[in-house]
Structure 1
Amino acid sequence: MGRYRWGRAVAGVALAAAVVGTVSGCGGDAKADAAKPKPKPKVVSVAKARAGFEDTVGGVDCQPERGACWEQMQDVMKSARTLRKAMNADKRGGPGF
């Protein structure tokens, strides 16, 4: 019987804390947040990103050993992400891209 009461009491306190946190609106002034312009991320052109990706992939020279290529693969993934962002930002590709 004691566990049941403690469980209900803890659940009740947790629920009350969630409700108070939601209702109190601890987010600050919503109008002030909405008025701030959001900075646009800087995106390189697709051609420049493609050239960087090809240079990175062409420069990979790994030994087929476990863990030997970690830094080089990190560089490849970074340039692949840059290329993907550039491709997504390019509006000429269309929805079929």
Structure 2
Amino acid sequence: MTQLKERDGRVCLPPRLDQSAAGALRDAALSAAGDLRLDASVVSHLSTSAVQVLLAARAHLAGHGRVLQVEGASPDFLSGLRMLGVETGAVGIVDGPA
């Protein structure tokens, strides 16, 4: 499983956000004590399984009064969402750089 790194209070998503990284993302969401901020600035590949985890993580956190935010989404990350028919708001994308 891919290890996710943290920087400046954000979890840094890897360039390849695939099934291996999705497991680490799931773990980060389940263990988050507060809001979860993700840096998606270097994502160049986005898999269906990772998007499913993002959607489930956002719902899980919202159910506990917390927020998932995706900051600095790369063009490839945004393109992957569009190809899968997922609205940016559904995964918590916020404007601005990571």
TM-score by length of 2: 0.26
Task: Select the structure that is richer in helix.
Answer: 1
Which structure is larger by alpha-carbon Rg, 1 or 2?
1
Task: Select the structure that is richer in strand.
Answer: 2
